[in-house]
Amino acid sequence: MVDARIYDNDQVPAWCPGCGNFSILRCMKQALAELDISPDRLLMVSGIGQAAKAPHYFRCNLFNGLHGRDISVAVGAKIANHNLIVIAESGDGNTYGEGGNHFIHNIRRNVNIKVFVHNNQIYGLTKGQASPTSDLGMKTRVQVDGVLSPPFNPVAVAIALNASFVARSFSGDPEHLVAMMKSAITHKGFALLDILQPCVTFNRVNTFQWYKERVYRLDDNYDPTDRISAFKKALEWGDRIPIGIIYLNNRPTYEEQLPQLKDGPLFKVPITGIDYSDILKEFK
Amino acid sequence: MELKIVIGGEAGQGIQTISSIMSRFFLRSGYYVFTEQSYQSRIRGGHNFTQVRVSTESISSSDDGIDILVALNEETINLHREEVSSNGIIIYDSELIKSVDNDKRFFGAPLQRIAIEKAKTRLAVNSSACGVLVGLLDGDFSILETLMREQFKDPEIGERNVLSARAGYEIGKTKNDFPFRTPFLSNNSRLLIDGGSAVGFGAIVAGCRFLSAYPMTPGTAVMNYLAGHSKRYNIVVEQAEDEISAINMVLGASFAGVRSMVTTSGGGFALMVEGLSLAGMTETPCVIHIGQRPGPATGLPTRTEQGELLFVINAGHGEFPRYVTAPRDAQDAFYKTIKAFNLADKYQIPSIILTDQFLIDSMVTIEGLDLDNIKIERYIENNPSKDYKRHLITDSGISPRALPGTEGILVITDSDEHDEEGHITEDLEIRKRLVEKRLKKGELIKEDIEEPIYFGVSNPDVILVGWGSTYGAIKESVKRLIEEDFKVGLLHFSDVYPLPYRQLEKYRDKRLISVEGNATGQFALLVRRETGIDIGEKILKYNGRPFTPSEIVKEVKKIW
């Protein structure tokens, strides 16, 4: 294990004091350190939102792209260089709203990337509108009569799509969060980690206390490979909210199935000195 | 010698197979061929046709008129009969089409019966029709025989099709008073290539090893081409869930070091525009191929137009440099695709290749492709210094580009305004310097831009101005006008943005006529914006069909 301080940089986070993001950032450094991942081997990709700023605040390669499109960039980068550890980190609005289509289809694609979603059930950067995961009835400046659409359930959707790894954790349980991050990173295949996180400024419903009273760790006897019980756990929300590895399904990754990537990363494939005479024959 | 063959029928009747085999037949017999497809947006039915234009001289457009009409259904006869020349011929299936009159141009052959008898399948009507054509034109049957065997992987099916073709050939030979003859001329090393393959092959030669796209006609041709060669050349082709994902995947792959491209049409590009801006901001190289088709919205999916020029040049929020090239023909498309990849890497910008359905789907005979002098330049810093900064401000505006994963350094970029290191910033002084750095590159690109081709008399009264795939048709019209003593020339652009202006300046006081495949004269507008030169007169076409030399001659004479 390396010292977690090797990930420190001189950037100053632009988050509110007491934001759950600080805990997630600390856990991230801890998990990387425990896995002995050198910053230059790690590529973080993020979208837009308060969560998506997180990778600026520690040492890593970084592509901070557009709102909702980080998973696509991460997939492209992983296909180009599968030796990189690629993690997409953003919030619930970014990943489940704007990026919904990429979320769905990349679960199917199963490229070996990790998707860490800071899920605070609210839009922070744009100052307090409902997010896809906001609870029914939550009143905001825009949803003046309360949220009318039932919340998006990322865990259930991921299980429905036969995701290879689906976990949930809570920023208020750092020990658990570090363990989940490590499991996601070491898993071979697309890994979704939904991280419950209070927004201290805009979300007056789902507060730290609210989560604290509801969140419980899955017990050791829980079998994440059983899809039906995983569904049951995914639907549990309200009085009790389970955290842990909810679904595990070891299926072949996208990269493993491509003969083009067998001999090494794509970016190292020689592109000069190639004989193209067989192509020229096609034009005769 | 010049000969125009039109093959018409419903989609699914084998028009493409016949035209493809016959095009190769003429190529191998020593002729120049230009083959243009006109098809409807459907898999079965509708009226579709292909023109195979054959000449002893180099040609790069189709033209009006028909010498041989191969009618696979009755509708083809009704729609094209008027265009068939008086000494031309209309080949039809004598057992399926009964409603012919005593017009002496009709020539019936039991195409389908031959196919069933000789090849045991109705599908072999392609081979019986090709046989009739070769017999009629006194061609070398052994060339057709070889083509038939190459066409079918199963030797037995190949053999049956040869029998079907031979039976057709014998019938064709009975018509010994047909005025057109295409005997074998010479062996040659020429190539028959379509625009889609030219862009695709150019991309492979340029080192493109990742393509992501959402299928959209006519851009799909390039995706098909790369997928068809993906295993042999280690290319990953990924069909994206939407165009937004396609361009973002490509930017990720390019950021990590692979030459990457998307291919689409105007509507798909519209979805990619935010990603284009991201490429500009993060200075991530990428190549975007856009096969134009008529818009707005879904427009005419299988037809042609030059309607996206101003959209493509102006696309993307914010200000950032780009390179836009509109290849004039398939050969140019091959080289310009390679150039697009090289300039994208050199300046860390998006490069756009702007073709159209006509260029993508048409096949043309070219003398060859020079693969020995292709330069691949990546401009990647393999040994960056320890204090590496992805967006370092330099005199040229170009920052050294290292790849993530390089030991001991970090590569950081951001769609937010960022500092030299790549971190998000709200420092407005840095903002100003980074804007200037990015825009500086746009000035440098001008040095790599190709001036237009001038073709015509040395002191013209009128200069036609064109760009992109109209080159062949306009050039041929200028040739004909010069033969009729018109003092005319053609200024034709392939690289269109940044707009090359030196030649334009030279001719600024001449009478200029813009010839464009759109309804608003977009290139003329661009010229005025960039140079102040007002091209007052325009010949515009926007019905979804490409220009022909004959119609340009007619239009020029009208306004001369």
Q: Does B256 touch chain A (CB under 8 A)?
A: yes
Mean predicted confidence (pLDDT) in B191-204: 98
User: Nearest C-alpha of chain B: how many angstroms from A94?
Assistant: 14
- Whether residue A154 is preceded by a cis peptide bond, meaning omega within 30 degrees of 0, is no
Q: What crossing angle do the helices spanning B330-347 and B195-206 adopt, rounded to 10°?
A: 40
How many CA atoms, within 13 angstroms, populate the side-chain half-sphere of residue B243?
22
Strands B45-55 and B32-38: antiparallel
- Of B336, B333, B330, B334, residue with least CA distance to B364: B330
B395 DSSP 8-state letter: S
Euclidean distance between CA atoms B200 and B520, whole angstroms: 30
Beta-sheet strands, E only, within B182-235: 191-194, 210-213
Contact criterion met (CB < 8 Å) for A75 and B252 = yes
**At B47, is the pLDDT very low, low, confident or very high (cuts 50, 70, 90)?**
confident
Instruction: Classify burial at A240, counting beta carbons within 10 Å of its beta carbon; exposed 0-12, middle 13-18, buried 19 or more.
Output: exposed
Residue B206: list chain A partners with CB under 8 A. Answer: 271
Tokens for B279?
A: 């490429």
- CA B436 to each of CA A2, B265, B395, B422: distance values in angstroms, whole numbers, following the listed order: 41, 32, 11, 16
Confidence of residue B43 (pLDDT cuts 50, 70, 90): confident
B193-366 sits in which CATH class?
Answer: alpha beta
Interval B285-336: pLDDT, tens: 999 999 999 999 999 999 999 999 999 999 999 999 999 999 999 999 999 9
Residue B539 β-bridge partners: B515
A269 neighbourhood in chain B, CB within 8 Å: 209, 234
- How do B350-356 and B323-325 pair as beta strands? parallel
Contact residues for A88 (Cβ-Cβ < 8 A; gap 6+): A44, A45, A46, A47, A70, A71, A73, A74, A95, A113, A114, A115, A116
- Measure CB to CB from residue B248 to each of A76, A271, A280 and give the nearest one: A76
Which pair of tokens denotes residue B511? 């009478």
- B11 pLDDT higher than 90: no
Q: How confident is the model at residue B490 (pLDDT cuts 50, 70, 90)?
A: very high
At residue B99, does pLDDT exceed 90? no
* DSSP class of A20: H
Estimate the crossing angle of helix B111-119 against helix B155-173, to 10 degrees: 140
Query: Which has the closest alpha carbon to B36: B55, B22, B50?
Result: B50
Chain A partners of B201 at a C-beta cutoff of 8 Å? Answer: 276, 279
What CA–CA distance (Å, rounded) separates A3 from B203?
A: 45
Largest interatomic CA distance in chain B: 86
> Which stretches of chain A drop beneath a pLDDT of 50?
none
Query: Residue A135 corresponds to which tokens in the numbers above?
Result: 């609870």
Nearest-angstrom CA–CA distance, A268 and B257: 8
Question: A76 contacts in B (CB within 8 Å)?
Answer: 210, 212, 248-256, 260
DSSP E strands, B23-81: 32-38, 45-55, 66-71
- When pLDDT is cut at 50, 70 and 90, the band that residue B525 belongs to is very high
What's the confidence (pLDDT) of residue B40? 79
B404–A61 C-beta distance less than 8 A: yes
Q: Which tens digits make up the pLDDT trace of B126-172?
A: 999 999 999 999 999 999 999 999 998 899 999 999 999 999 999 99
Q: Which of B480, B464, B359 is nearest to B64 (CA)?
A: B480
Asked if B233 reaches chain A (Cβ–Cβ under 8 Å), the answer is: yes
Go through chain A and tell me how many residues it has.
Answer: 284
pLDDT over threshold 80, residue B41: no
- Count residue pairs from A and B with Cβ separation < 8 A: 182
**Is there a contact between A76 and B210 if contact means CB atoms under 8 Å apart?**
yes
Quote the number of domains for chain A.
1
From chain B residues 171-230, the ones with a CB under 8 A of any chain A CB are: 191-193, 197, 201, 204-207, 209-210, 212, 229-230
Instruction: Supply the pLDDT for residue B42.
Output: 74
Q: Are the beta carbons of B49 and B76 closer than 8 angstroms? A: yes
Asked which of B42-56, B189-203, B478-492 is least confident by mean pLDDT, the reply is: B42-56
CATH of domain B453-559: 3.40.50.920
Measured over all CA atoms, what is the biggest interatomic distance in chain A, rounded to whole angstroms? Answer: 74
Question: Measured between CA atoms, how close is A253 to chain B, in angstroms?
Answer: 14
- Is A56's CB within 8 Å of B282's CB? no
Q: Which amino acid, one-letter code, is at B218?
A: P
- For residue A74, the 8-state DSSP code is H
Helix or strand (DSSP H, E) at B292: strand B286-292
When pLDDT is cut at 50, 70 and 90, the band that residue B214 belongs to is very high
Chain B window 264-303: which residues touch A at a Cβ cutoff of 8 Å? 274-275, 278, 282
| Domains in chain B: boundaries | 2-173, 193-366, 380-448, 453-559
Average pLDDT (B374-394) is: 97
Whether pLDDT at B266 is above 80 = yes
> Collapsing DSSP states into helix, strand and coil, what is residue B551?
helix
Put simply, the chain B residues between 376 and 395 with a CB less than 8 A from any chain A CB are 376
Strand (E) or helix (H) holding A273 = none
Here the tokens at position A114 are 């990790």
Contact predicate B470/B518, CB 8 Å: no
Q: Which residues of chain B are within 8 Å of residue A259 when distances are taken between CB atoms?
A: 231
* Among chain B residues, CA nearest to A99: B245
Whose structure tokens read 């509110």? Answer: A16
Chain B: nearest CA to A282, how far in angstroms? 9
> How close B94 gets to chain A, by Cα (Å)?
33
Residue B38 sits at the vertex; the CA angle it makes with B366 and B95, to the nearest 5 degrees, is 110
| CA distances (Å), origin B312, targets A147, B439, B493, B498 | 40, 18, 16, 12
- With H, G, I as helix, E, B as strand and everything else as coil, classify residue A264: coil
Q: In angstroms, rounded to a whole number, what is the distance separating the alpha carbons of residues B148 and B144?
A: 6
- Token pair of A232, please? 């049951």
Q: Please determine whether the domains at B193-366 and B453-559 fall in the same fold group of CATH.
A: yes
CA distance B396 to chain A (A): 24
Token couple for B416: 């937010």
Cβ neighbors of B483 (< 8 A, separation 6 or more) are none
Fold topology of B2-173: Pyruvate-ferredoxin Oxidoreductase; domain 3 (3.40.920)
**B 431-470 residues inside an 8 A Cβ radius of A:** none
Q: Does B324 touch chain A (CB under 8 A)?
A: no
Q: Is the sign of the CA dihedral B279, B213, A158, A165 positive or negative?
A: negative
Subunit contact B249:A39, Cβ cutoff 8 A: no
pTM above 0.90, yes or no: yes
Per-residue tokens: A108? 């199917």
Is there a contact between A72 and B411 if contact means CB atoms under 8 Å apart? no
Q: Do B191 and A276 touch (CB under 8 A)?
A: no
List chain B residues with CB under 8 Å of A83. Answer: 405
d(CA B374, CA A276): 12
Query: In terms of residue numbers, what domain contains A196?
Result: 4-282
pLDDT (mean) for B336-360: 98
State how far the Cα of A32 lies from the Cα of A182, in Å rounded to an integer: 8
Quote the pLDDT of residue B98.
86
Q: What is the 3-state secondary structure (H, E, C) of B341-385?
A: HHHHHHHCCEEEEEEEHHHHHCEEEECCCCCCCCCCCCCCCCCCC
Q: In this structure, what CATH number is given to the domain that contains residue A26? A: 3.40.50.970
- C-beta separation of B164 from B110 below 8 A: no
C-alpha B408: how far from chain center: 44
Give the distance from residue B272's alpha carbon to the nearest chain A alpha carbon, in angstroms: 11
Q: Do B258 and A80 touch (CB under 8 A)?
A: yes
One DSSP character per residue, B60-74 reads -S--S-EEEEEESSH
Judged by CB atoms closer than 8 Å, whether chains meet at A76 and B371 is answered as no
pLDDT tens for each residue of B396-455: 999 999 999 999 999 999 999 999 999 999 999 999 999 999 999 999 999 999 999 999
Q: In B, which residues are within 8 Å of A261 by CB distance?
A: 236
**Smallest Cα distance from B373 to chain A, Å:** 12
Residues of chain B positioned with their CB less than 8 A from the CB of A11? 423
| Residues A90 and A47 sit within 8 Å (Cβ to Cβ) | yes
Nearest residue of B to residue A73, measured between CA atoms: B252
